[in-house]
Amino acid sequence: MSTMTATMPSSALDQDWRRVLRWGLICGGVLIALCLVGMPVELDRRELIERYLSLGYVSVLMIPILIGRIAATQVVLEGVESRKQGLYDLVTGLAVGILGGVSLSVLIVALDSWNLRDPLVNWSPKLFRFLTYENGIGFGLMAWIVTCGLLGMMGAASHVVPAMVRRVSGIVVLSLLGISVLEGAIEDLSEGFRLEWLTDLLYAKKGGLTLTSAILAGAAIAVVAVLTSGRVKALTTSYREKEGADRQKASIILFVVVAVLVIVLPIFLGKIMNELLANVGLFLLLALGLNIVVGLAGLLDLGYVAFFAVGGYTTAVLTSPNSPFFAPEMHFGFALIFVVIFAIVVGLVIGAPVIRMRGDYLAIVTLGFGEIIRLLFLSDWLGPYFGGAQGITNIPGVDLGFATVKGTDPRSVFYLVLFFCAIAIYVSWRLQASRLGRSWMAIREDEQVAETMGINTVNSKLMAFVVGAVMAAFSGAVLAAKVGSIFPTSFMILISIIILVVVIVGGMGNIAGVMVGSFVLIGVLGGPKQPGLLQEFQNFKLLIYGMLLVFMMLKRPEGLVPSARRSRELHQDEFLQDAWLKGDKPGTDDDDGETVGDDGGEEE
């Protein structure tokens, strides 16, 4: 139990019990929290494998596996001999799992004995039935302790079994999970490709895989996993290791492939998927704008939704016949000109007073402005012009001559959004590598020094604010045309926050990162009101957002696809170390052999 025996155990039972206890309690805590949040009961309705496994059970059962795996992870220190992983770790996993199971048992007993439904909404007989599998309390207790123990051991076993087995079983489990959870999306996709027979074969009538199809699909995936073993990894590492022109070429190829996919795929997709893509696009457009403001210029703008609202309302007033005060019923294209003008004006009006503030102050003031704009649209004062809480309805779609873009045809909306996103991406990309982009970077690094180096920081920051505002306003305009009606409630503060989360999780300051971020968050999890691929998690979306954000901040603060600059910034020490290691090898240093300490050579 001392640290000596913990690193070099003599037997499998000679565990670091404090550590085991800690992880066991964490495991139990997570399990209980999950149950009380209501996730398992709610998701129990969704069958993954017909009659055998529901999403509810999966959401609980994965916890001991994950925590068992984490608990059995060995910290490998360079230069220190590490022990071989084996039985010792299995015991760790087992113990952690059992502790988790015991905690759940305590919950079951408590559920049976007391009624705490008043503060805890999910303290219900339903949860009790779920946990005991409707087989009585004794069975429930035993079942959970045993299963959690076994699953914890399975999680730990992932360190023990050969890499190949780990890889194949991991891929099989995850893809089966993916296939079953994404049933709706896959059915939609297969319809587009006329492959309904495949999904009919795969899925049961009432939803979920059938047991046979699960086994068959699992076997097929396992074969594929064995065959492709190592290839994917080789491909990604070869991409990562490329430098300069080669890397650029690879990036261009990647970009073209993605672009073609994005343009062609919607033709084969059904309504639901196209709707989803259109939503992703709308949020991507917002996120790209915010990326300029926050990611490039470093201005934490929490009231970004204001510009979204300006775009939406401008379009609504100018195009809708139902606009209460002034209804010119313009064409969307003309209205866009005014959208840009108003976005710039509002950007300047909000920006000019707040832009002189720094950091936290700016965040708080913009937060206020975001709400003010929404409340103005809601107010009685502007009610006669913008319809107050009733909003503006009956906004026509976009008449392009050959087609009309409107909400009932999500594919057309997607293409419209795509057009604006393409513009936004181009603008971000060009501005990044320009005089203005450099001044934003400098301001983000050190505002005072930037000012002393001759950059008019107020102008530069305003410019960032306005460019971001215009992008958000475009997004608002498309939203108005898509939904056909605009209400103050469409522009809640939550949108500002979710877009910020998109930018942070995706990778601040990186266009590809923002794209990935909006796809993962809006596409997979869903927007504030828009369903994502995981529709089942609709009610727990904000919880998952929060957990994801905390996790990212702890483990990967630079985001999923970070910009090189930002990951350097957040990992300066490691970066310096790497550079030192690289420079230390003979033949890689090209001039004076200087590394961290300086040379002192003569001037040539």
Which tokens go with 267?
Answer: 């033709």
- Sequence-distant (≥ 6) Cβ neighbours of residue 139 within 8 angstroms: 132, 133
Burial class (CB in 10 A: 0-12, 13-18, 19+), 125: exposed
Distance of CA 374 to the CA centre of its chain: 26
591 contributes a contact to another protein by CB under 8 A: yes
Q: What does the alpha-carbon distance between residue 355 and residue 351 come to, in Å, rounded to a whole number?
A: 5
242 vs 565, which CB is nearer to another protein? 565
126 vs 565, which CB is nearer to another protein? 565
Q: Select the residue interacting with another protein from 453, 550, 553, 581 (CB under 8 A).
A: 453
With residues binned 3-state (H G I as helix, E B as strand, rest as coil), the percentages for the chain, rounded to 5, are 70, 0, 25
Q: What is the dihedral of CA 527, 529, 534, 538, to 10 degrees?
A: 120
451 contributes a contact to another protein by CB under 8 A: yes
Q: What does the alpha-carbon distance between residue 88 and residue 376 come to, in Å, rounded to a whole number?
A: 64
Q: Select the residue interacting with another protein from 246, 446, 574, 584 (CB under 8 A).
A: 446
242 contributes a contact to another protein by CB under 8 A: no
Q: How far is the CB of 213 from another protein (least distance, A)?
A: 51
- Sequence-distant (≥ 6) Cβ neighbours of residue 193 within 8 angstroms: 268
CA atoms within 13 A on the CB side of 570: 15
Q: How far is the CB of 67 from another protein (least distance, A)?
A: 36
445 contributes a contact to another protein by CB under 8 A: yes
292 contributes a contact to another protein by CB under 8 A: no
Q: Which amino acid is at 222?
A: A
Q: Select the residue interacting with another protein from 148, 344, 413, 463 (CB under 8 A).
A: 463
355 vs 486, which CB is nearer to another protein? 355
Q: What does the alpha-carbon distance between residue 491 and residue 98 come to, in Å, rounded to a whole number?
A: 47
Q: What does the alpha-carbon distance between residue 295 and residue 563 come to, in Å, rounded to a whole number?
A: 10
Q: Select the residue interacting with another protein from 452, 554, 555, 587 (CB under 8 A).
A: 452
Q: How far is the CB of 436 from another protein (least distance, A)?
A: 6
- Sequence-distant (≥ 6) Cβ neighbours of residue 348 within 8 angstroms: 462, 465, 466
Tell me which stretch binds another protein (CB under 8 A): 18-26, 183-191, 368-376, 430-438: 430-438
Tell me which stretch binds another protein (CB under 8 A): 187-195, 226-234, 316-324, 442-450: 442-450
Q: How far is the CB of 244 from another protein (least distance, A)?
A: 10
Q: How far is the CB of 435 from another protein (least distance, A)?
A: 5
Q: What does the alpha-carbon distance between residue 480 and residue 472 come to, in Å, rounded to a whole number?
A: 12
434 contributes a contact to another protein by CB under 8 A: yes
Q: How far is the CB of 591 from another protein (least distance, A)?
A: 6
168 vs 443, which CB is nearer to another protein? 443
Are the CB atoms for 333 and 344 separated by under 8 Å?
no
Q: How far is the CB of 238 from another protein (least distance, A)?
A: 22
Q: Select the residue interacting with another protein from 430, 542, 546, 584 (CB under 8 A).
A: 430
Which tokens go with 603?
Answer: 């001037």
442 contributes a contact to another protein by CB under 8 A: yes
Tell me which stretch binds another protein (CB under 8 A): 204-212, 294-302, 389-397, 451-459: 451-459
Q: How far is the CB of 465 from another protein (least distance, A)?
A: 13
Which tokens go with 503?
Answer: 């930018």
141 contributes a contact to another protein by CB under 8 A: no
251 contributes a contact to another protein by CB under 8 A: no
For the chain, give me the number of helices (H) and strands (E)? 27, 4
Which is it for strands 404-405 and 47-49: parallel, antiparallel or unpaired? unpaired
Tokens 């805590």 map to which residue?
Answer: 29
336 contributes a contact to another protein by CB under 8 A: no
Q: What does the alpha-carbon distance between residue 451 and residue 439 come to, in Å, rounded to a whole number?
A: 10
Q: How far is the CB of 32 from another protein (least distance, A)?
A: 43
**What x/- string results for residues 467 through 506 when contact with another protein is judged by CB under 8 A?**
x---------------------------------------
Q: How far is the CB of 488 from another protein (least distance, A)?
A: 32
Are the CB atoms for 291 and 509 separated by under 8 Å?
yes
441 contributes a contact to another protein by CB under 8 A: yes
Q: Which amino acid is at 78?
A: E
| CA nearest neighbour of 510 among 553, 472, 564, 548 | 564
Site for another protein in 551-590 (CB under 8 A): 565-566, 568-569, 572, 575-576, 579, 590
**What x/- string results for residues 293 through 332 when contact with another protein is judged by CB under 8 A?**
----------------------------------------
Q: How far is the CB of 440 from another protein (least distance, A)?
A: 10
596 contributes a contact to another protein by CB under 8 A: yes
341 contributes a contact to another protein by CB under 8 A: no
Are the CB atoms for 378 and 222 separated by under 8 Å?
no
Q: How far is the CB of 565 from another protein (least distance, A)?
A: 5
243 contributes a contact to another protein by CB under 8 A: no
Give the binding-site size for another protein (rule: CB under 8 A).
Answer: 47
118 vs 603, which CB is nearer to another protein? 603
CA–CA distances in Å: residue 389 to residues 378, 384, 490, 529: 5, 11, 11, 18
Q: What does the alpha-carbon distance between residue 274 and residue 155 come to, in Å, rounded to a whole number?
A: 38
| CA nearest neighbour of 295 among 427, 420, 444 | 444
First to last CA, the chain: 63
Interface positions with another protein (CB under 8 A): 426-427, 430-431, 433-439, 441-442, 445-446, 448-457, 463, 467, 565-566, 568-569, 572, 575-576, 579, 590-592, 594-598, 600, 602-604
